[in-house]
């Protein structure tokens, strides 16, 4: 085989089924090898779409996503998607073509140092210089991408290495290492804190889903009876309709969730990293609480908040070793439940226009258990987090750490290809959809039955809200009143579409969106002045929450 054929054979040996990419000169040998392989290649219409689709595929399936692009602009167009996967700890292998090794460093056509450019946003990088190294490198790349705290790995493949011949063969899969667990002394210290706590809170983070620990977390939460709050990425670790779930915490969290944390005497942090959007002003976060911090990544423990007990290792195994039945939290749970009921959102907004939070809630109530939400970034992202029913974290795909506009549609593509039997809905905004609008062509090309709910307020809603609140209403470059006719745009890509402008049209619109065979886009006009509430102002403690007047 030549190097390109060996790359493809090694991907097949790793169990890869779908590859997202875009061809070009330096990567062309690999595309020639794909022609004779069993891999399914999905042609995105922009390399960023390839990387974000691989990201969405990985989040929705738990398997490592794979994307590829050519050298130069192909590689640089992958960077945002790679950085997005790095920020949210998503396993990904990105393969880039590179100019031939004798030309490297000569500023040749489409030469870019993608190895150096991506170094801050990958777990590891490989530059292949010997065709015989390909089996080892592919095996190592997939191991590194998925083990411990997952993340993206880059493989840069020079064209002369891709066409060189070799007798090497793909490596057979080896045994998986046993998961690491905290030492018994740390478990004992954590157990003592739990037994003595009167107001404990389980602070659920995105690491729960990453570690495949959702079931273990649910068992522990239900056996212990401890109230649960979640970060954006952890929504669904405990179903959002569960009686113990108090709400999302942080900047756009619920008052009940933030108050529970502020009044807690013990914070059991499971796979979270004390991100600023969750904690608000850090020195005012959970001021009365001791901290037990569970994580697979030692770098996160005590990085921002010093842990009284650090439990490093496999989350499922750790949760199974913690005491649960001995904890008496009934009075505290009842207090949290009362506050949760007192701050339940209302959906009876005045007027005849579409109220986005109500429509989103009705959508998830109508969709049933097989719904996967792929969400873009902006006000609609927060409304989804606040108002949609989310039953598992892998059913709620959202760009948390990087906040990448344009994530939603490619992520939906990846999710649908990884879960062909599930209903995938992309929630996007008029700003976000234009970031990767070309991926409508990908949806149409493969006739993916993705439903797109486009909330259009003719502005960059979250930026407009912040300018109104914190910049004296001085609006700068947020108006999008020159948007195209999105119905005609979708139809020009071969995707049926319709417009929704009044509240009384919503039930029929949801029915049409969910029950149309194949892809469809619903263009929903909403109030340009609508804000996301509540809101913790920047630089303030989570105890300082702004709410709608």
Walk me through the domains of the chain, giving residue ranges and CATH numbers.
3-163 (3.40.50.970), 184-342 (3.40.50.1220), 356-525 (3.40.50.970)
Q: Exactly one of 13, 17, 110, 335 is catalytic; which is it?
A: 110
Using DSSP's 3-state secondary structure scheme, residue 520 falls into strand
Query: What single string gives the DSSP state of each residue in 171-199?
Result: PPP-PPPPPP---HHHHHHHHHHHHH-SS
Residue 132: CB atoms within 10 A of its CB come to: 14
Catalytic pick from 68, 104, 126, 159?
Answer: 159
Q: How far apart are the C-alpha atoms of 9 and 34, rounded to whole Å? A: 9
Helix (H) or strand (E) holding 373: strand 371-375
Q: Would you write out the chain's pLDDT as a tens digit for each of its 549 residues?
A: 999 999 999 999 999 999 999 999 999 999 999 999 999 999 999 999 999 999 999 999 999 999 999 999 999 999 999 999 999 999 999 999 999 999 998 989 999 999 999 999 999 999 999 999 999 999 999 999 999 999 999 999 999 999 999 998 988 777 777 778 898 999 999 999 999 999 999 999 999 999 999 999 999 999 999 999 999 999 999 999 999 999 999 999 999 999 999 999 999 999 999 999 999 999 999 999 999 999 999 999 999 999 999 999 999 999 999 988 677 899 999 999 999 999 999 898 889 999 999 999 999 999 988 899 999 999 999 999 999 999 999 999 999 999 999 999 999 999 999 999 999 999 999 999 999 999 999 999 999 999 999 999 999 999 999 999 999 999 999 999 999 999 999 999 999 999 999 999 999 999 999 999 999 999 999 999 999 999 999 999 999 999 987
Q: Verify whether residue 47 is a known catalytic residue.
A: yes
| CB-count exposure of residue 195 (10 Å: 0-12, 13-18, 19+) | exposed
Distance of CA 161 to the CA centre of its chain: 34
d(CA 429, CA 459): 9
DSSP string, 120-166: GG-SEEEE---GGGHHHHHHHHHHHHHSSS--EEEEEEEHHHHH-B-
* Sequential DSSP letters for 10-32: HHHHTT--EEEE---TTTHHHHH
Terminal Cα distance for the chain, rounded: 69
Residue matched to tokens 């630089």: 539
Active site residue 13: no
Query: Catalytic site residue 545?
Result: no
Active site residue 462: yes
CB under 8 Å to 332, separation ≥6 — which residues? 198, 199, 200, 227
Of the residues 104, 405, 462, 545, only one is catalytic, namely 462
Exactly one of 47, 300, 439, 505 is catalytic; name it: 47
Looking only at Cα atoms, what is the longest distance across the chain?
72
Q: Which of 132, 130, 133, 164 is nearest to 2 (CA)?
A: 164
Q: Could you tell me if 42 and 442 are in contact, meaning their C-beta atoms sit under 8 angstroms apart?
A: yes
Q: % helix / strand / coil in the chain, to the nearest 5?
A: 40, 20, 40
Contact between residue 415 and residue 372 where contact means Cβ atoms under 8 Å apart: yes
The pTM for the full model equals 0.96
159 is catalytic: yes
DSSP code, position 322: S
What residues contact residue 134 under an 8 Å CB cut-off, 6+ apart?
Answer: 3, 6, 7, 10, 128, 161, 166, 168
146, 153 contact by CB (below 8 A): no
């Amino acid at each position: 085989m030549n190097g390109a054929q060996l790359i493809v054979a090694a991907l097949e040996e790793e169990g890869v089924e779908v590859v997202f990419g875009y061809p070009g000169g330096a990567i062309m040998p690999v595309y020639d090898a794909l022609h004779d392989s069993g891999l399914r290649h999905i042609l995105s219409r922009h390399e960023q779409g390839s990387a974000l689709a691989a990201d969405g595929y990985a989040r929705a399936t738990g398997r490592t996503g794979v994307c590829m692009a050519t050298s130069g602009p192909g590689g640089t167009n992958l960077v945002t998607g790679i950085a997005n996967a790095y920020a949210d700890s998503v396993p990904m292998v990105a393969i880039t073509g590179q100019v031939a090794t004798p030309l490297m460093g000569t500023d040749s056509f489409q030469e870019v140092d993608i190895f150096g450019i991506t170094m801050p946003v990958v777990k590891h990088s490989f530059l292949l210089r010997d065709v015989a190294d390909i089996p080892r490198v592919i095996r190592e790349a997939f191991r590194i991408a998925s083990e411990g705290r997952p993340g993206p790995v880059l493989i840069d493949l020079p064209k002369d290495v891709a066409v060189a011949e070799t007798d090497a063969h793909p490596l057979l899969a080896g045994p998986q290492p046993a998961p690491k667990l905290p030492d018994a002394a740390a478990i004992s210290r954590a157990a003592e804190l739990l037994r003595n706590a009167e107001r404990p809170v389980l602070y659920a983070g995105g690491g729960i889903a990453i570690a495949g620990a959702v079931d273990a977390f649910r068992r522990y939460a239900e056996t212990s009876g401890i109230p649960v709050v979640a970060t954006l990425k952890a929504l669904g670790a405990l179903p959002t309709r569960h009686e113990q779930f108090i709400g999302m915490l942080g900047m756009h969290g619920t008052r009940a969730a933030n108050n529970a944390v502020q009044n807690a005497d013990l914070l059991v942090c499971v796979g979270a990293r004390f991100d600023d959007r969750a904690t608000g002003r850090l020195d005012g976060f959970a001021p009365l609480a001791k901290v037990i911090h569970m994580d697979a990544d030692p770098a996160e423990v005590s990085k921002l908040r010093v842990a009284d007990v650090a439990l490093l290792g496999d989350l499922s195994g750790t949760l199974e070793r913690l005491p649960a039945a001995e904890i008496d939290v009934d009075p505290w749970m009842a207090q949290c439940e009362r506050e949760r009921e007192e701050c339940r959102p209302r959906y009876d907004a005045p007027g005849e226009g579409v109220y986005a939070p109500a429509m989103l809630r009705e959508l998830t109530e109508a969709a049933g258990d097989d719904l996967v939400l792929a969400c873009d970034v902006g006000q609609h992202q927060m409304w989804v987090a606040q108002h949609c029913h989310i039953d598992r974290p892998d059913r709620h795909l959202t760009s948390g750490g990087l906040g990448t506009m344009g994530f939603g549609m490619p992520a939906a593509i990846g999710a649908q290809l990884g879960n062909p039997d599930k209903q995938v809905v992309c929630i996007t905004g008029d700003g976000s959809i234009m970031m990767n609008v070309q991926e409508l062509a990908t949806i149409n090309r493969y006739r993916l039955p993705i439903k797109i709910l486009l909330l259009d307020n003719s502005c960059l809603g979250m930026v407009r809200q912040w300018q109104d609140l914190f910049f004296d209403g001085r609006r700068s470059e947020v108006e999008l009143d020159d948007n195209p006719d999105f119905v005609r745009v979708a139809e020009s890509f071969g995707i049926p579409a319709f417009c929704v402008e009044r509240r009384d049209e919503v039930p029929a619109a949801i029915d049409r969106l969910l029950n149309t065979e194949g892809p469809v886009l619903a263009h929903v006009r909403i109030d340009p002045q609508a804000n996301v509430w509540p809101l913790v102002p920047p630089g303030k403690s989570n105890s300082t929450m702004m709410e709608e007047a």
